[in-house]
A = this chain, B = another copy of it.
């Protein structure tokens, strides 16, 4: 029968999308970033590494070398073993003992989160997330429409382990708990040593998978970061690493450390997503690491970012009125500011942009729905020069005077 003979109703000709997409929204964070990225605005809103610190020349040389010498550089191919070996070495610097067979390469850390979520989370299953959490993990779980079990976070010691245990003792069977061990985005807090030990133990005792997202563990400013959870538990902790912050985001290259027995299934999920990560990028990053450039580069990053952090913290102490507190990050890129309860940070942002041309991200952009997080700001210190940090914090101080006076 030819289709025109049985014309369906007009409504039937609309694109029917999957049910979960009906209520989906652009992340508040991304919407805000678009608003505050206008020229002329001094912005602490983004989460960008400093482009002037990218290893551009050395990476360009690595690309040229690989393209002129390696016939597989532009072809399809299996994960590049020499890069996995380098990652094993990087993990050792973080105190993690693993083998190349436990290294799984991904198209950035975000893809690692997505692959693990597809592997672990049933449709309408449970996940355990902090009340204030990286927006990317909320985007990842959204299509699975899970029951999100919220966990609070202490601003000095990290995630409230007792909340985790309470959920589990009540019979919760979450697909996983998501944790950032060092320099939490957006909170800037690192997990205390005691909490790392307790979480690693809980993971084994309850069979609770933990996704440990560690983009900032190599960007430490007060001595080395503590070893991540994966150093304490190799059966239930899925470690996620990334070259975005230690080299450059446009590599879109990350990795995860997972039990070897799970690799075949993770591979099938990865292939469904994008077949494989770029053979060229894998080889070029390996060539860059072969060249031994990374240690000096990391030292430079740490030195520069430490200066920016210290400059911002000192300026905040100088220019912010009383009644405001903030985290003192030992690593990473973010400071979390707690304003007096009555201050609405979203309204404050409007004033800040209009009056002083300075921007930040209101904390509610990172909040679990229903969690009150109106009186917080996230400040980024990695992507401004020292003079702009000084100037921007002074401006922000003037805006804060208006609402705290």
Residues of chain A at the chain B interface (Cβ within 8 Å): 1-4, 6-8, 12-21, 24-27, 30, 48-49, 51, 54, 56, 59-60, 63-64, 67-68, 71-77, 107-108, 110-111, 114, 118-123, 125, 136, 139-140, 142-143, 165, 168-169, 173, 175, 198, 201-202, 204-207, 209, 235-236, 248-252, 259, 262, 264-265, 267-269, 271-281
Contacts and interface: CB of A to CB of B under 8 A. Distances in A.
A13 B271 contact: no
Contacts of A18: 118-123, 125, 175
B268 A26 contact: yes
Interface centre among A24, A277, A278 (most CB of B within 10 A): A278
B273 A75 contact: no
Given A60-B63, A249-B76, A268 B51 contact: no
A17 B207 contact: no
A46 B122 CA distance: 34
8 closest Cβ contacts across the A-B interface? A74-B248, A13-B207, A3-B205, A139-B272, A250-B280, A250-B279, A60-B67, A74-B250
B110 A165 contact: no
A271 B27 contact: yes
A272 B17 contact: no
A275 B27 CA distance: 12
A235 B13 CA distance: 9
A107 B252 contact: yes
Given A54-B74, A140-B272, A248-B280, 10 more contacts: A13-B236, A20-B122, A27-B271, A63-B64, A76-B250, A136-B271, A136-B275, A250-B280, A252-B274, A274-B274
A259 B17 CA distance: 13
Contacts of A265: 17, 21, 24
Contact of A16 (B207, B248, B267, B268): B207
8 contacts: A3-B198, A15-B236, A15-B259, A18-B123, A24-B265, A48-B76, A56-B67, A63-B63
A191 B59 CA distance: 44
Given A15-B207, A251-B278, A169 B6 contact: yes
A251 B1 CA distance: 44
Contacts of A110: 271-275
Contacts of A264: 26
Given A59-B74, A67-B60, A173 B16 contact: yes
B252 A278 contact: yes
Contacts of A142: 268, 272
